[in-house]
């Protein structure tokens, strides 16, 4: 994993206690030199498995939000962006095995979960997403 991404993920998780979806958004914005509004970051507060419900992974949700922001700025149509999101979800599933937080979280869930258990997969998913976007 890229050391810069690894360090940034660690900082966002442990120093700022930022969830996975917002960490994905922040890192992708930094990697692609895109400004992100506070309101957009606020909209992702509950996007870590639907507020902990263990539904769609926040890494996927953050990436999909970024794809919408990035490709809108590049002049893509809504239909094009939806198609890119579909392709991303397909390729993410091929690479990681699922889109669900419940399936992706290391060691599952328990009342004694350590904080930020998804730190490692977050860095890998950010690199995966960066490469996906570059090839599109």
Q: Give the C-alpha distances (Å, rounded to integers) separating 60 from 15, 53, 110, 111.
A: 22, 15, 22, 24
Higher pLDDT, 92 or 116: 92
**pLDDT of 111 higher than 80:** no
**Residue 7, pLDDT score:** 97
CB atoms within 10 A of CB 102: 14
pLDDT tens per residue across span 35-83: 999 999 999 998 877 767 778 899 999 999 999 999 999 999 999 999 9
**Residue 108, pLDDT score:** 63
d(CA 58, CA 71): 20
Helices (H), the chain: 3-10, 20-31, 38-43, 49-52, 58-73, 78-96, 101-104, 119-135
């Amino acid at each position: 994993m890229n050391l810069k991404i690894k360090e940034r993920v660690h900082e966002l998780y442990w120093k700022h206690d930022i969830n996975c979806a917002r960490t994905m958004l922040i890192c992708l914005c930094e990697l692609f030199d895109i400004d992100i509004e506070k309101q957009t970051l606020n909209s992702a507060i509950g996007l870590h498995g639907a507020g902990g419900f263990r539904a769609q992974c926040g890494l996927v949700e953050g990436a999909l939000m970024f794809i919408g922001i990035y490709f809108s700025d590049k002049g893509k149509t809504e239909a094009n962006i939806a198609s890119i999101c579909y392709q991303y979800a397909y390729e993410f599933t091929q690479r990681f095995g699922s889109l669900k937080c419940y399936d992706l979280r290391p060691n599952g869930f328990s009342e004694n979960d350590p904080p930020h258990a998804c730190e490692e997969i977050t860095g890998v998913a950010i690199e995966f997403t960066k490469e996906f976007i570059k090839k599109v």
